[in-house]
Amino acid sequence: MESGLVKLPALGHTLERLGPQFKESLKAFWAPGLWWEELDWAYMGVIDGHNVRAVRRAVREALAAQRPVVVHCATIKGKGFAPAEDGGLEGMEKWHAAKPKSIANGAPAPAAAAPAGAATPPPAYTQVFGEALVREAQRDERVLGITAAMNSGTGLNILQRELPERYFDVGIAEQQAVLLACGLALQGCRPVVAIYSTFLQRAYDQIVHDVCLQKLNVTFVMDRAGLVGDDGPTHHGVFDIPYLRCLPNIVLMAPRDEAMLVHMLRTALTYDGGPTAIRYPRGEAVGVPIPDEPSVIPVGTGEILREAGNGVTSASHYSATGRGSARHSLPPTFWPTAGWR
């Protein structure tokens, strides 16, 4: 049949040239493990990941093989729990990490009623950032939001809902998120890359070579900075200060409250000297009023909040307003005095 096709007038030469590629594409489509077999790896799949017996059988066979083996299992996120399984992306995200007592009798547990007269808790930093980013995007059409499969966890779901054309999710590919931001920044956009602190380190090479050395106006927003409680040790954002502070041309910021977070976001998006990064913790903010119109903070200055004894000064960097306190040109790094403990 193949020899007959290549003899067809007009089409024969094309079929002869493209035929082998088409044949390999068909093989790959019908036999997904062919690529592994060509590398001399054994391939087993696709295995129903919810069928424990099938998975155990496949693992036993793989262990018995005298060669590298890929066991390909397919699962459904939230399998067996209808709100997660049938709720689409929103349901999967909501039940990604169910908390204790959040499920009762196979259904979502009713929310506990707040005690009578209880004060309304402050908003989470994540929510404050998401809402502030929408306002910044409405103010400046160059502002865009980018994440790497951390939609609601970074607050970018708010931007997705309000301005979907300005929202980008590249999937679990932090390096691609940073490189996308670089390309957009080179075209005059003001990209905001929102990624958990612990996962931003996956894109360290891109941050160094493609952002900092090029002095591109990319803003990194690191959610889950510091210890994160229930999220566990893999999510503790405790390394971003040392791994970013040593890089050239980048401005690092850490807000003391939700109002300062809003001011810092405005500052980052109006700063033209290169990349900026903002880190904030998981959970509720402090509870201070959020400004209607953010201020641009003078980078590298600080605000004396309280004078203390023994030569120790309580200071806040990157102050938005004096608020009655004296403004000082403080160096961006403090070192404890000799008597500090």
Tell me whether residue 215 is one of the annotated catalytic residues. Answer: no
Q: Please tell me the distance from the alpha carbon of residue 47 to that of residue 111, in angstroms, as a whole number.
A: 38
The one catalytic residue in 7, 57, 77, 306 is 77
The one catalytic residue in 94, 202, 215, 256 is 202
Tell me whether residue 174 is one of the annotated catalytic residues. Answer: yes
Tell me whether residue 67 is one of the annotated catalytic residues. Answer: no
Q: Which of 44, 41, 43, 49 is nearest to 79 (CA)?
A: 49
Give all strands (DSSP E) within the chain, no chain letters.
42-48, 69-74, 103-104, 107-108, 143-147, 167-169, 190-196, 219-223, 251-253, 276-279, 302-307, 313-317, 327-328
Give all strands (DSSP E) within 106-151, no chain letters.
107-108, 143-147
Q: Please tell me the distance from the alpha carbon of residue 180 to that of residue 187, in angstroms, as a whole number.
A: 11
The one catalytic residue in 174, 190, 224, 279 is 174
**Residue 251, exposed/middle/buried by CB under 10 A (0-12, 13-18, 19+)?**
buried
Helical axes 258-270 vs 125-139, angle rounded to 10°: 30
Q: Which of 46, 114, 38 is nearest to 76 (CA)?
A: 46
Rounded to 5°, the CA angle 202-207-208 comes to: 115
The sign one gets for the Cα dihedral 330, 332, 338, 341 is: positive
Q: Please tell me the distance from the alpha carbon of residue 39 to that of residue 46, in angstroms, as a whole number.
A: 18
**Residue 167, exposed/middle/buried by CB under 10 A (0-12, 13-18, 19+)?**
buried
CA 292 to chain centre: 27
Cβ contact 156:193 at 8 Å: no
Active site residues: 77, 174, 202
